[in-house]
Amino acid sequence: MMAKKSVQKSLAKARKGNAAKLKPVSKQARTDTTVLHGAAKPLTKAQIEEMFRRFQAANPEPKTELAHNNPFTLLVAVVLSAQATDAGVNKATPPLFAAADTPAKMAALGETQVRDLIKTIGLFRTKAKNVVELSRRLVADHGGQVPRSREALEALPGVGRKTANVVLNVAFGEPTIAVDTHIFRVGNRTGLAPGKNPFEVEQKLEQVVPARYKLHAHHWLILHGRYTCLARKPLCDKCIIADLCQWPGKTVLQEPVRERAYE
Ligand code: SF4
């Protein structure tokens, strides 16, 4: 095993020389906003284990970045986040949740006021309608509570499989993995969970993610896609799983410096 100092030296040297030694990024990789289907070799069981071991070591308790204070406000925030950024949703929700943090209050607030409060978010008209209607249904059918059931959640207006998965995971601690654009890209790019659509990627993740990592897999992958494995210019030189990633477009040193760092 390498001494700690020696490992740090190797990494510092590698980082310094990285810019000069990077492989050129192909035109296809530069313009890749989603994935190169089938381009990555599937990861082995050992590589997947190592990938999640590193994610966990780097961030033992990952959290959602959507501001919320109870299962209901989480549900509303996730509904509002469709085709919008978490940061954009978080700017709009404080006054909304101050006015209505329960289904009964949201239903009483009504569509017009909700619409005014969320008008900075894309598709706000449809979302306001859905939020008020789902609040009414929660009051009428679920005693004003957010149900802990995929079926019941998906029956609510504006709630699809992805939203249900996030709510089940974050609010109720279920080991579900919601596949959004970031997870779809990371799953395909790295070779972790190749699939042609989000459902295929989700099914694959269900099969390959080790059980002990499933609870947090959603957040680790989303954060990795959001801050490191970016769509247009992935930050491969800062990536903690670069040596495991099977994407031909990755831009990393070919020497095993990174592997040694984790010994
Ligand atoms: S090396 Fe890391 S950042 Fe680069 S493509 Fe692979 S997973 Fe994404």
Residue pLDDT, tens place only, 216-225: 999 999 999 9
Q: What pLDDT does residue 127 have?
A: 98
Annotation says 243 is catalytic: no
User: 79 lies in which domain range?
Assistant: 71-170
Residue nearest to atom 1 of ligand 1 (CA): 242
Q: Are residues 76 and 166 in the same domain?
A: yes
List the residue whose alpha carbon is closest to atom 8 of ligand 1: 229
Which residues are near ligand 1 (CB < 6 Å)? Answer: 189-190, 228-229, 234-236, 239, 241-242, 245, 247, 250, 252
pLDDT at 176 over 50: yes
Q: How many other C-beta atoms can be found within 10 angstroms of the C-beta atom of residue 16?
A: 9
255, 23 contact by CB (below 8 A): no
Q: Kindly state whether residue 104 falls inside one of the protein's structural domains.
A: yes
What amino acid is encoded at 92 in this protein? A
Q: How does residue 9 score in pLDDT terms, banded at 50, 70 and 90?
A: low
Q: What is the pLDDT of residues 43-65, one digit of tens each?
A: 999 999 999 999 999 999 999 99
What's the chain's average pLDDT? 86
Buried b / exposed e along 67-105 (16+ C-beta atoms within 10 A): bbeebbbbbbbbbbbbebebeebbebbeebbeebebbee
- pTM: predicted TM-score of the whole model, two decimal places: 0.80
| 162 is known as an active-site residue | yes
Q: CA geometry: angle at 138 spanning 136 and 140, to 5°? A: 65
Structural domain total, the chain: 2
CA atoms within 13 A on the CB side of 223: 18
How far, in Å, is the centroid of ligand 1 from the Cα of 30? 13
Reported confidence tier of residue 253, pLDDT bands at 50, 70, 90: low
Ligand 1 pocket test, pick from 33, 220, 228 with the greatest ligand atom count within 8 Å of Cβ, gives 228
The model's pLDDT over 190-212, given as tens digits with 9 standing for 90+, comes to 999 999 999 999 999 999 999 99
175 in a domain, yes or no? no
Do 157 and 84 lie in a common domain?
Answer: yes
Q: For residue 19, is pLDDT > 80?
A: no
